[in-house]
Structure 1
Amino acid sequence: MKLSPIQLLQSSVQQITVFSVDTEKPELSQPMLSTLDFQVLKEIQLNKQFWDDEPNAGTMKDRTYRVTLGIRTPEDKSFHQYRFEIVLTGVVVSMQEAFPQHSVEDMVFEYGLTLLFGIAREQLATTTARMSNGSCLLPTMNFMGEAAKPL
């Protein structure tokens, strides 16, 4: 096993809202699994101030970012009898100064989103486990190829 060149230093849930959908209303209980049209927010910002109290941070400041991921169901749809909105942020750093085929920012964005999505899956499963419609688990998602800046 090898240490990943991208590390999640800190994460936090900014918002989590989950509603059970009334299964008596068929238009709200349609499964989304075939289309997965979640609404997604993805952001990245350089976060040099994370290292303000660390005198030996060096060039780590230039490779540390705040990544935000938000996922929600559209208001007129549900996912496994739930409507939800989850927003998470994380401080993500690249241990490497460069990558052969991608920018540091793109690598941090791609892997940061993937790590945050794992947290979102866990939060939704934990929250819904005690709700009347039962536990809901998001499918595994892939953020490979996400670019921090549009091409």
Structure 2
Amino acid sequence: MKLSPLQLLHSQYTAISLFAREIPSPPADSPSACYPTASTESFITKIELGMPEGDEDPHHFMVSLAVSSEKELPDDFPYQFAVLLEGEFHIDHDGDLEDRRRLVVINGASMLFGVIREQLLSLTLRHKNGPLMLPSLDLRALGPKKKNDTPQTANTDEPKKVPQRKRKKPSADKGGEN
């Protein structure tokens, strides 16, 4: 087995909110599913791609993924939520920049969506309306389209330029050993 060319170096939540809604109780004789049904119409996703300023051939990218519930939810949808997660990625791919961007947007956002999905599931396990698991998504149509692709609802906006972040190195005197 080998490593993926796209590696998630770091992720961080910049916002997360969750509110249990008042929903009607299901009838006592109705079969209950393990998780409430969440369709793609129940929530909104927004993806942004950031590249380092001044780098003409970047291999480091930032992906920001926002997932939130719709403002007009069905009466039986149990939660109102909003999550914003950022991920720092490195891609070991020397091909065309557009191919690199496409791989980072689609696969990076997919990784981040899985993190958000699991976090919402964990947070709702002990809520009064029970656990919420978002459905799996196919994000291929959201990335910058390939040169030979037929037009779809692809996001072809230019990526945002973000300043490179310097990582702090651990201090040698914090280990407790002398």
TM class by shorter chain equals 0.7 to 0.9
Q: Aligned-pair distance for 1:141?
A: 1.0
Counterpart pick for 1:65 among 21, 44, 61: 61
Local SS of the residue matching 1:103: helix
Counterpart pick for 1:41 among 46, 49, 55: 46
Structure 1 residues 35 and 8, CA, compared in 2 at 3 Å: closer, same or farther? closer
What amino acid sits opposite 2:108 in the alignment?
G
Normalising by the residue count of structure 2, what TM-score does the alignment of the two structures yield?
Answer: 0.66
Structure of higher CA gyration radius = 2
Residue deviations 1:85-108, cap 9 Å, x none? 111000011111116xx6111111
Is the contact made by 1:8 and 1:93 (CA closer than 8 Å) also made in structure 2? yes
What amino acid sits opposite 1:150 in the alignment?
T
Indicate the larger mover: 140-149 or 63-72: 140-149
Q: Aligned-pair distance for 1:23?
A: 0.9
Match of 2:79 in 1: 82
Local SS of the residue matching 1:106: helix
Structure 1 residues 34 and 109, CA, compared in 2 at 3 Å: closer, same or farther? closer
Counterpart pick for 2:125 among 103, 118, 129: 129
Counterpart pick for 1:110 among 96, 106, 123: 106
What amino acid sits opposite 2:121 in the alignment?
A
Q: CA RMSD in A?
A: 2.7
Local SS of the residue matching 2:47: strand
Normalising by the residue count of structure 1, what TM-score does the alignment of the two structures yield?
Answer: 0.77
Is the contact made by 1:45 and 1:65 (CA closer than 8 Å) also made in structure 2? yes
Q: Does 1:93 align with 2:98?
A: no
Q: Which runs of 5+ in 1 are unaligned?
A: 26-30, 50-58
Q: Percent identity?
A: 28
Q: Which runs of 5+ in 2 are unaligned?
A: 26-35, 145-154, 158-178
Match of 1:56 in 2: none
